[in-house]
Amino acid sequence: MVPEFGHFALILALMLALAQSVFPLLGAAQGKPVWMQVGRTAAVGQFLFIAIAFGSLVYAFVGNDFSVLYVASNSNLSLPLQYRVAATWGGHEGSMLLWVLILAAWTVAITGFSRHMPEDFVARVLGVMGLISVGFLAFMLLTSNPFLRLLPAPADGRSLNPLLQDFGMVVHPPMLYMGYVGFSVAFAFAIAALLSGRLDASWARWSRPWTTLAWVFLSLGVALGSLWAYYELGWGGWWFWDPVENASFIPWLVGTALIHSLAVTERRGAFKGWTVLLAIITFSLSLLGTFLVRSGVLTSVHAFVTDPARGAFVLVFLAIVVGGALLLFASRAHRIGLGGSFDPVSRESMLLLNNVMLAVAAGSVLLGTLYPLVLDALGAGKISVGRPYFETVFVPLMAPAMFLIGVGPMAGWRKASLPNLATRLRWAFAVGLATALLVPLAMGRWSTPVSLGILLAAWIIASSIAGLIERLRLSGGSMSIGAKLGTNSRSYYGMQLAHVGVAVFIAGATLVLGYETDKEVRMSIGDTIEVGGYSFRLDRISEVPGPNYIASRGDVSVTRDGRAVTTMYPEKRTYGDQQNPMTEAAIDWGLARNLYIALGERLDPRTWAVRIYHKPFVELIWVGWLMMSLGGLLAVFDRRYRVAMRKPLHAPSSVSLLPNAGAVGA
């Protein structure tokens, strides 16, 4: 019965989504407040029904209801409870359901935090989000229904890929979807602004916290995916340029461009058209990413052909969303004003240049990801595009953008002078150069790529500090340091934190690239091997039963200069009927290094192939991403987003107008 409830709830949610899109959009166009009001109610109702549907599916998974086809193909009796819950979004149908659930949640959040916006604007935003929801709900009900029955029910379900039985799989997809779907809010704001003709600074300010929040979630999602690949796939890499990864990274790159471009639109009213276009593109790429990963088209272009209904629906839906939005944009583009003026050398131009670099990088990754698919579809041969291509293309494109991180925040709005910037940044650059020379020497071996990476990282950090010092100097001389620090906004600190996060990430990525060491050895009980100054001894190997697997677990004691450091337990797990045992690497996390042990094949009863890595500073990669996300979060909670718009105006008494010099640009 419960799956039918879920199915029915999904149909009702579709009806409510229709109401949520039709009434507010028409109401806003014709100025009917009662119609506009429908949006809020329908949004809450839609969320409730989708939550009921989602709950029903989780219930079916928890109760092992294999009469539901989707449950039978994604779960089994031996699966532990937390992975049965996570298996809800382990396949195509369920992840679509998670997608609409999150969409509905974002919509409800908008209804709650939109009191300061004009009612017709909110109505249009809700209407556009309703339309997206209609598309997804119809897609699910017509082609990807998770509640379809399988009768007679099998006694047990199919096994879930052991790689996915991991905490990473529990949290990674929801986080990623929070980001993907979050950009639908930016999209809806952009479309609403185009529809209402209100492309002004207030639109940018309403959109900005939502867009940044979506970006925070997407950043966390990308980072979690990378972390999961690092510890779960068992060969020590942290990014593989896999199409699935690229599908989340491309929207991230464009989303990063978007949050920067929104900054200019909010502050200076410029780039309005470009910001709207970016919002449309970001969301379109999020849609593309969702479908690329879930439709199976990446494994084989022919997955589309085997399920033509699904493929056709996706293509038509994408065409409507992207095409419709772009048509609307084109028809309104001439009405978009240009905003404030600025010089070729100014913070505006630098942010625009940053946008160009990010967009070109995103375009190149997209090209590399889709190219083999297109060639294959055209019958022009099968090729692989992998790491060598992406690194050749991506790194040279991003390096200049990374350099700009140091200059941009120091440049004044409207007008900046290069000699002036050079004077103010000369110490930061000197610090960067010195660090770039010293770090490789301190690590014991010269490496030019590492030195260049460290140069960028140290440059970003030093220039951020230089910027902060300059601000403290310029803000009132009589205040204490604490009070001076307090005069800067949260979004300023958020920006600084995120930029330093980029630097930390670069440092981690280059150091591990340059100074990682590894050994692949045959180890018998009692053998020792030295890697990266640590001595590893295999003490024993025992059979350890898990909830649905049997593991061969090695006890490896680690010493350094005779002192015990830790004991590590790498495993080789065999899940039920799976042929190949899975590698469960043992990782000892440390600030300056990771020790990483992956158990290989058993060579004879007492001897195993073992691969041991010493990875200096690898965790800085994820620390950097975490700092970027926290920086974004700080910016979201900036005070000015909470100041009500309809506050009565009174004459300014203490608004000081500092000259537009240096970092204290208005």
Q: What's the distance, Cα to Cα, between the start and end of the chain in Å?
A: 62
**For the window 58-97, what string marks contact with another protein as x by the rule CB under 8 A?**
----------------------------------------
CA–CA distance, 185 with 209 (Å, rounded to integer): 10
- How far is it, in rounded angstroms, from Cα 7 to Cα 148? 8
The size of the chain, in residues, is 666
* Residues 386-445 interacting with another protein (rule: CB under 8 A): 386-389, 392-393, 397, 408-409, 414
By beta-carbon proximity to another protein, the closer residue of 592 and 651 is 651
Q: Select 23 or 271, whichever has its Cβ closest to another protein.
A: 271
Indicate the Cα dihedral angle 305, 310, 312, 316, nearest 10°: -150
Q: Report 167-206 residues binding another protein (CB under 8 A).
A: 201, 205
Q: How far is the CB of 301 from another protein (least distance, A)?
A: 13
Which position among 235, 427, 429, 637 is part of the footprint of another protein (CB under 8 A)? Answer: 235
CA-closest candidate to residue 345, choices 406, 400, 421, 401? 421
Is the CB of residue 147 less than 8 Å from the CB of residue 4? Answer: yes
Site of tokens 């350094």: 560
Interaction of residue 166 with another protein, rule CB under 8 A: no
- Do the strands 534-545 and 517-524 form a parallel or antiparallel pair, or are they unpaired? unpaired
CA distance to 284, 603, 655, per residue, from 658 (Å): 41, 73, 9
- DSSP-derived letter for residue 319 is I
Distance separating alpha carbons of residues 184 and 274, to the nearest angstrom: 17
With binding defined as CB under 8 A, does residue 349 bind another protein?
yes
The single residue among 15, 109, 171, 363 that binds another protein, judged by CB under 8 A, is 363
Contact between 340 and another protein by CB under 8 A: the answer reads yes
Residue 646 contacts another protein per CB under 8 A: no
Q: Which of positions 596-635 make contact with another protein (CB under 8 A)?
A: 600-601, 609-610, 635
Residue selected from 11, 327, 422, 666 as contacting another protein according to rule CB under 8 A: 666
Which member of 382, 482, 562, 591 binds another protein (CB under 8 A)? 382
The structure tokens 């650059």 sit at 429
- Cα angle, residue 494 at apex, residues 488 and 500 outer, rounded to 5°: 115
- What x/- string results for residues 244 through 263 when contact with another protein is judged by CB under 8 A? ----------------x--x
Q: Output the smallest distance, CB 358 to another protein, in A.
A: 10
Closer Cβ to another protein, 592 or 657, answer by number? 657
Quick check: 8 binds another protein (CB under 8 A)? Answer: no
Give the residue with the Cβ less far from another protein, 60 or 558: 558
Q: What's the min distance (Å) between Cβ of 644 and another protein?
A: 8
Parallel/antiparallel/unpaired status of strands 607-616 and 534-545: unpaired
- CB 451: neighbour CB atoms within 10 A? 19
As a whole number of angstroms, the distance between CA 189 and CA 206 comes to 8
Nearer to another protein, 14 or 411 (CB): 411
Compute the distance between CA of residue 83 and CA of residue 79 in angstroms, rounded to an integer: 6
Q: Report the C-alpha gap between 42 and 21 in whole angstroms.
A: 9
168, 202, 464, 466, 654 from 481: Cα distances, Å: 42, 33, 17, 16, 21
Q: Does 656 bind another protein (CB under 8 A)?
A: yes
Judged by CB under 8 A, the number of residues near another protein is 92
Residues 292-321 touching another protein, rule: CB under 8 A, are: 299
In the complex, what is the shortest distance from the CB of residue 238 to another protein, in angstroms, rounded to a whole number? 13
**From candidates 129, 185, 359, 568, binder to another protein by CB under 8 A:** 359
Binding to another protein (CB under 8 A): which residues in 449-478? 475
Residue of 455, 458, 461, 663 that binds another protein (CB under 8 A): 663
Q: Which is nearer to another protein, 529 or 623 (CB)?
A: 529
Applying the rule CB under 8 A, the residues between 490 and 529 that interact with another protein are 491-492, 494-495, 519-524, 526-529
Whether the upstream peptide bond of residue 152 has omega within 30° of 0, thus cis, is yes
